[in-house]
Amino acid sequence: MKTDVTKLLGIQYPIIQGGMAWVAEYHLAAAVSNAGGLGIIGAASAPADWVREQIRKAKELTDKPFGVNIMLMSPYAKEIASVVVEEGVKVVTTGAGSPEKYMAMWKEAGIKVIPVVASVALAKRMERAGADMVVAEGTEAGGHIGENTTMVLVPQIVDALTIPVIAAGGIADGRGMAATFMLGAKGVQIGTAFVVVEESQVHENYKERILKAKDIDSRVTGRSTGHPVRALRNDLTKKYIELENKGASFEELELLTLGGLRKAVVEGDIKGGSVMSGQIAGLIKERLTCKEYVNKLIKETKKLIEDTKFYE
Ligand code: TUI
């Protein structure tokens, strides 16, 4: 089994950018691909035409491979599944569901398929369905999350599969990247740290909120609705958790967060909007270009792996 993620994807370093809703647009995706990783356009809940436009714009900024993340709860997921084929996208990552029904069409088009999973059961199903690799995403991640930590999830998925496993959730520097390699991962997916790079178009307020975050600043809302989401604490998470504790209905809670991510990312309303972020925000303190960040990450990881001694 071919396990070199860089060869499989035609990239320099085994670093995949998270397909973050509203954040992962073409400037960021192209910057990550130009830095030697795999940039990703996040389709999130956007219409298919927006995604097609983003793909075309990314192609103008990079001649390197990039991917599209399809959020499977989107009403446009089916249409977008065809757009990636029509536009010749090389890699698809998926989140918040199972992409089984699109797999045959993507494989036929030569697309590498990388489902993001949060459990061993779904990881096994994805391998059986023909996935080229999986992203094992721990609960440290931002946005929509599962229950297991990266530390616990990655080695169990590695043991259960033969395809390469990419680790995600809680990784922002060389220590995190090297640690996941020790768990058996062959690459990393990084989200939060890419939100603050120079090329990211996210509102300054959002970037500053991540850069100022402390270790204990994230909150999970929506456990009661079955859609747990991690974001940095603010007026919105406080109100949500109060309502949730009072036993508010699914509809009431959904209404509260409707459009919340856009409000924070685009308008910079970091008090009333949803500032989705991973737990690792507390470690992120520097503003770098994408290339500077990726180069630093690789340099740190290499040194740690080369210098690792278990016993004298
Ligand atoms: O998908 C993500 N992270 C996301 S999606 C998103 S958009 C959104 N915005 C507001 C509310 C809800 C969603 C924001 N962040 N990560 C990958 C991921 N997938 N994490 C967990 C899962 C997952 C969960 C359940 C995958 C499959 C699943 O069940 C599949 C099945 O059919 O059994």
Minimum CA distance residue for ligand 1 atom 27: 97
pLDDT at 270 over 70: yes
Residue found by looking up tokens 């992962």 in the block: 24
Q: How far is CA 233 from the centre of its chain?
A: 20
Q: Both tokens of residue 246?
A: 């009072």
Residue 228 CA, ligand 1 centroid: distance in Å: 9
Strands 143-144 and 229-232: antiparallel
- Report the nearest atom of ligand 1 relative to the CA of 116: 17
What is the rounded distance in angstroms from the CA atom of residue 64 to the CA atom of residue 36?
8
C-alpha 180/C-alpha 155 separation (Å) is: 9
122 lines ligand 1 (CB under 6 A): yes
**Mean pLDDT on 241-263:** 92
User: Residue 312 — pLDDT band, cuts 50, 70, 90?
Assistant: confident
Cross-strand pairs, 230: 143, 220
Instruction: Name every residue whose Cβ is closer than 8 Å to that of residue 46 and which is 6 or more positions away in sequence.
Output: 74, 76
Contact at 8 Å (CB) between 129 and 154? no
Is there a contact between 26 and 58 (Cβ–Cβ < 8 Å)?
yes
152-183: pLDDT as tens digits: 999 999 999 999 999 999 999 999 999 999 99
Read off the pLDDT of each residue in 300-304 and give the average, rounded to a whole number. 97
pTM over 0.75: yes
CA 97 to ligand 1 center in whole angstroms = 6
What pLDDT sits at residue 254?
A: 87
Q: Is the CB of 98 under 6 A from ligand 1?
A: yes
Residue 2 pLDDT > 70 = no
Q: What mean pLDDT is predicted for residues 231-248?
A: 96
Asked if 282 and 145 touch (Cβ cutoff 8 Å), the reply is: no
pLDDT > 70 in the chain, percent:
99
Give residue 1's pLDDT: 63
C-beta of 203 in contact with ligand 1 (< 6 A)? no
Sign of CA pseudo-dihedral 253, 99, 69, 79? negative
Q: What is the pLDDT of residue 125?
A: 98
Q: What's the average model confidence in pLDDT over 292-298?
A: 98
User: Does the pLDDT value for residue 47 go beyond 90?
Assistant: yes
Nearest alpha carbon to residue 131 among 98, 158, 156, 155: 98
How high is the pLDDT of residue 222?
Answer: 94
Nearest CA to ligand 1 atom 17: 95
